[in-house]
Amino acid sequence: MDREERSFGVFKPEGHVVISFPSAAQADAGREALRTLTLADADVRRFSDREMLARLDDDLAHAGLLASVGQEMNLAKAQRELAARGYHWLVVKAGDDELAGRIADAVRPHGAERAQLYGRFLIEELIDHPGDLPQVAESPDRGLDAQTRTGEEGERADLRPPDEPAR
């Protein structure tokens, strides 16, 4: 990923949709599905689990203090957890919200777990799953939005999915 796609040292590809898939085969199928949208080849980048893990480890090790103010640091931690579990990734340039929605619609049937549109100020979740909690503001004090558990969310009841008991 290019340096200009970072905010305070953490990955933030503004104007792109970052999509996670549980397997390499699903990521390949998602990439193939995007061909129907006639995107330029340079606008679709694929990253393996190991590539993302290495990049995210580097980001987390070199993140600036301000990265923890917004969602970037929390999302990097959640994405790192997925990469450690073997998830593969597509990063797709989206010129506008309408195209971002079409990108999410194209990859959803191929097992896309998450598709997040990185805007200038907001990072929007484009794929909803049954049982997802409403997206909330994140901060270092509140921890991660519990949609993708990393083990760092803490024991607060409002961060546990409704079907997960307290430990």
Other Cβ atoms less than 10 A from the Cβ of 80: the count is 18
Tell me the angle at which helices 72-84 and 49-62 cross, rounded to the nearest 10 degrees.
Answer: 140
In the prediction, which pLDDT does 119 show?
85
**Domains of the chain: which residue ranges?**
3-133
CATH topology of domain 3-133: Alpha-Beta Plaits (3.30.70)
In the prediction, which pLDDT does 97 show?
92
Q: What's the rounded Cα separation, in Å, for the pair 133 and 136?
A: 9
Contacts of 157 (CB under 8 A, 6+ apart): 166
Q: Is 18 helix (H, G, I), strand (E, B) or coil?
A: strand
User: pLDDT truncated to tens, each residue of the chain (167 aa)?
Assistant: 443 454 444 456 889 999 999 999 999 999 999 999 989 999 999 999 999 999 888 877 876 655 555 566 777 888 899 999 999 999 999 989 999 999 999 999 999 999 999 887 788 899 987 766 665 554 444 444 445 555 554 443 344 444 545 44
